Amino acid sequence: MRIALFVAFVALAPALAAQQPTAAQVQQALQQQPGLGDMVRSRISQSGLTADQIRSRLSASGYPSTLLDAYLSESAGPTALVPGSQELAALQALGLPALTNPALPYDTGFVRRPTRVPSEVFGVDVFQRTTTQFLPLLAGPVPPDYKLGPGDNLVLILTGDVELAYSLPVTREGFVLIPQVGQVHVANLTLDQLRDVLYSRLGRVYSGVKRSASATTRFDVTVANVRANQVYVVGEVAQPGAYQISSLGTVFTALYAAGGVTERAKLRGVEVQRSGKTIATLDLYDYLLRGDTRADVRLETGDVIFVPIHLSRVRVSGAVLRPAVYETKTGETLADMISAAGSFRPDAALERVKVERVLPPEARGAQTTARVTIDVPMTNGVAPRFALEDGDVVQVDSLAGASDQYTVAITGMVQQPGTYPWRPGITLRQLVVLARGPRIGADLRDAEIARLPADRSKGQLATTVRVPLDSSYLSERDSSRYIGPPGVSFPAAGTAPDAPLQPYDNVLIFRQPDFELQRTVTILGEVLYPGTYALKAKDDRLADLVQRAGGLTPRAYQEGIRFVRAVDNRGRINIDLPKALREHDSRDNVILQPGDSVRIPEYQPSVRVTGAVNSPGSVLYRKGAGLDYYLSGAGGFTRNAEKGQVSVRYANGETRTRRRSLLFSSNPSPGPGSEVYVPAKDPNAPHTDTVALFGAIAQILASTVAIIVIAKR
């Protein structure tokens, strides 16, 4: 345990020494690295600590608990975050990694620019997104082929006969200084090569260091921190210049740090120059199209990444999966560009491809003839090895619209009637399957096909043919054949030959003659067996229904029958039930329709009086009594009663209203179970001057009498 703590202390010694930078150092770091606040917030967000945990640790370390609150929220803008020396020290007090070399930071590549329209050139936008997709992984072991150099920080650990640990920074000259051992040159060595050197050098001082299993002293060397390399990115990039990137960084890292390439860039010829020589040329399409990063070179200090201007490009448009502008190499053809565009869409017209080309100056007759369209035929939907030129536009047409396609139609007794695409060899059976099979009640003895006539000289629009069907046209459901309801018998399966269809055929599947499902009506109330009944025949009448329901009960009030018809929303119909039961052919004994509802109420020997009366309630029915009798039984009218608008709603739903005038009046007589309603006057209605009204009537009568007297003389 003691040895482990000692080793950890040595490994973290450079970080602990940097915990308290001076104010001048902080200001210098801020001037050279405006994104330092983003780095602080990134370290906190990647720590996995909650806000409460961070505040608790700050308090335990002697810092204000709210010191880092500004870095706990993503809503704070990056320009508002300006960390000072206390914030940087508190960051390490949380146990998070130190900000390595703040005066010489790694370039994160976060190029902040106004929102731009996506480029039409394939691959340009990949390196312009504000993500960390091309940043090297700073944590974890270095790759086996990583070469050490000035600025790296190594940790050497000895165990066994001795328990030691050393932090070994690599000097500018490429050496590390090991106590009691001396200088060891490590520049341009991998870790495996360094271990071979250390076996020899350490063995001179520590006799227990051996390559054999009998060694009593063992050692290990690792890279604690990697250096930063300065590289140069020039040419067609968004921000050419020198960039400090991790020594683990590659060409992709440098392009990302420079804000990506421009639309003029040559993506298929990015050059890497080292010591004045081109050591690699990258074709970014290897990565963009196939994810191949084997050509991505790890950079060293002084390397130059040069992005030339593009040479030949073509545009691929139309029915391809990824239409865009693509860069071409010598020897690449139409087939190669179609493949780069993701190949054809399912709706692509695969007979031919159009190539629009700008002729070279010597081949142009005039400006109006400088462009030509080349029709490139395809064989079995495969693009030929047609050579493309700079500026060509490849147009892949899509299939024509449905209105321009051959079709067939099916109507009548099928689940989904409609129009379907025609194809060579399609049959009537296949069309019925497309229409989800016949509906219940379909007549599967034969079908009619309306076909375009061969001769239109006599004004013919169509010719019709009858084709036989059989029971095999029925759909299968739940692994058992659906036979359907009883009706017309169908021919056995396999007896009808399949009928091929021609373009624009219109198929009609007939309905079985007089076929329909059961008609149901409902009878409720005072019958012996109320319920919903299916009609036996189309001429079943009301009296037949009452008889099937067991007849009326002794409590039935026949005059109160309420008959409602749902067909066409006819609603309530006045029915004289006693007459319907007495006279079979009377108009009241109506023929029943689907959905009819009959309700026969119980006899109620009372009349209900509501509305603007002094004592609303029910009054016992008295045969022969008039409307005034029931109004009087309810206490008479109130002061605001509308006496001329009294209405009576009878038990069968019929409503009648009192009518009064100077020469005529009518009072409906309530029956058992009726309801008398007296409306109230509208308080906002204009008031009628009765005195003035009668005065005007008297003048009219006097004038009339005078005219009559004069006429007689």
> Which pLDDT tens digit goes with each residue over 423-447?
999 999 999 999 988 988 888 889 9
Model pLDDT, residue 303: 95
User: Cα–Cα distance between 333 and 389 in angstroms, integer?
Assistant: 9
Model pLDDT, residue 61: 62
The region of weakest confidence among 156-160, 419-423, 454-458, 463-467 is: 454-458
Helices (H) and strands (E) in the chain, counts: 15, 34
* Region class of 550: left (phi > 0), else alpha (psi between -120 and 50), else beta: left
Domains along the chain with CATH numbers: 2-109 (no CATH), 153-225 (3.30.1950.10), 228-307 (3.10.560.10), 313-396 (3.10.560.10), 405-511 (3.10.560.10), 520-600 (3.10.560.10)
Q: Is the pLDDT of residue 86 over 90?
A: no
Q: What is the tens place of the pLDDT at every residue in 551-605?
A: 999 999 998 999 999 999 999 998 999 999 999 999 999 999 999 999 999 998 9
Helix (H) or strand (E) holding 99: none
Mean pLDDT of the region 172-196: 93
Model pLDDT, residue 267: 96
Highest mean pLDDT among 100-114, 121-135, 513-527: 513-527
Model pLDDT, residue 400: 74
Prediction pTM value: 0.53
Mean pLDDT of the region 192-206: 92
The 8-class DSSP code of residue 472 comes to G
Q: Which two tokens stand for residue 231?
A: 């590289």
Model pLDDT, residue 105: 47
Model pLDDT, residue 508: 97
Could you give the strand order of the β-sheet that contains 164-169, starting from the edge strand earlier in sequence? 164-169, 153-160, 217-225
User: Cα–Cα distance between 427 and 239 in angstroms, integer?
Assistant: 65
What is the rounded average pLDDT for all residues in the chain? 83
User: Cα–Cα distance between 172 and 168 in angstroms, integer?
Assistant: 13
Highest mean pLDDT among 3-12, 386-395, 642-651: 386-395
- Please give the share of the chain, as a percent, with pLDDT higher than 70: 82
User: Cα–Cα distance between 108 and 302 in angstroms, integer?
Assistant: 19
Model pLDDT, residue 66: 83
Q: How confident is the model at residue 706 (pLDDT cuts 50, 70, 90)?
A: confident
Q: Is the pLDDT of residue 19 over 60?
A: no
Model pLDDT, residue 497: 87
Of the candidates 604, 602, 595, the one whose C-alpha atom is nearest the C-alpha of residue 523 is 595
Q: What is the tens place of the pLDDT at every residue in 324-347?
A: 999 999 999 999 999 999 999 999
Q: Is the pLDDT of residue 419 over 90?
A: yes
Q: How confident is the model at residue 224 (pLDDT cuts 50, 70, 90)?
A: confident
Q: Is the pLDDT of residue 108 over 70?
A: no
User: Cα–Cα distance between 668 and 648 in angstroms, integer?
Assistant: 7
Contact (Cβ atoms closer than 8 angstroms) between residue 151 and residue 14: no
- Please give the share of the chain, as a percent, with pLDDT higher than 90: 49
CA dihedral 469, 475, 481, 484 (to 10 degrees): -70
Q: Tell me the three state secondary structure of residue 121.
A: strand
Mean pLDDT of the region 661-671: 75
Highest mean pLDDT among 76-80, 104-108, 145-149: 145-149
Of the two residues 659 and 529, the one the predictor is more confident about is 529
Q: Is the pLDDT of residue 20 over 50?
A: no
Model pLDDT, residue 451: 95
Q: How confident is the model at residue 257 (pLDDT cuts 50, 70, 90)?
A: confident
Mean pLDDT of the region 366-377: 86
Mean pLDDT of the region 652-664: 77
Strand ranges, E, within 544-681: 562-565, 571-573, 597-600, 606-611, 617-620, 647-649, 655-657, 659-660, 665-666, 675-678
Q: Tell me the three state secondary structure of residue 681.
A: coil
- Angstrom distances, CA of residue 701 to CA of 255, 695, 707, 710: 110, 10, 10, 14
Q: How confident is the model at residue 487 (pLDDT cuts 50, 70, 90)?
A: low
Model pLDDT, residue 11: 40
Contact (Cβ atoms closer than 8 angstroms) between residue 564 and residue 518: no
User: Cα–Cα distance between 234 and 242 in angstroms, integer?
Assistant: 9
Q: Is the pLDDT of residue 457 over 60?
A: yes
User: Cα–Cα distance between 510 and 507 in angstroms, integer?
Assistant: 10
Mean pLDDT of the region 161-188: 92
Q: What is the tens place of the pLDDT at every residue in 506-532?
A: 999 999 888 888 899 999 999 999 999
CA dihedral 139, 143, 149, 155 (to 10 degrees): 60
Q: What residues does 313 pair with on adjacent strands?
A: 327
